[in-house]
Structure 1
Amino acid sequence: METWQQIVVLLLAGLVAFLFFPGVKRMLERSEKAEKDWPAVLIPLGLVVLFVVMLVMLV
């Protein structure tokens, strides 16, 4: 990539981070008060891992 393209990408990434920061901050404040529901995360994650392992074994 050209230097000017890298600068534009850096500026766009900074703008996106600046625009999303207030929403992320609010989300983190709310998540501390939310109930913890780890099975809702771990079960789909485990199924995805098993699916990937199955695909690797089939190749």
Structure 2
Amino acid sequence: MELWQQLLAAAGVLLMLFFIAPGIKPALEKSKNAEEKHWGTLLLLATVLIAFILLMIYSVQ
């Protein structure tokens, strides 16, 4: 990568963090105060993501 591309990517990451950071603390507080935990949904999404990644890996071999 050229230097200007690396600088542009770094600026993009910093800009994303600038927009996301204010919402992290309220989201964590809301998560702590939730009545029920959705671990089943998290496991399902993680399984689907891993299966998709494995499918992509095996499709290029």
TM-score class normalised by the smaller sequence: 0.5 to 0.7
Aligned sequence identity (%): 41
Equivalences, count:
51
Please list the CA deviations of residues 25-46 of structure 1 after superposition, one character each: whole Å capped at 9, or x if unmatched: 211111011121322333x248
| Aligned residue number for residue 31 of structure 1 | 31
| Aligned residue number for residue 6 of structure 2 | 6
For residues 46 and 24 of structure 1, the distance between their equivalents in structure 2, rounded to whole angstroms, comes to 21
Change (3 A) 1:47 1:7: closer
For residues 21 and 46 of structure 1, the distance between their equivalents in structure 2, rounded to whole angstroms, comes to 24
1:9, CA displacement in angstroms? 0.9
Give me the TM-score of the superposition, normalised by structure 1.
Answer: 0.62
**Backbone CA RMSD of aligned residues:** 2.5
Change (3 A) 1:4 1:45: closer
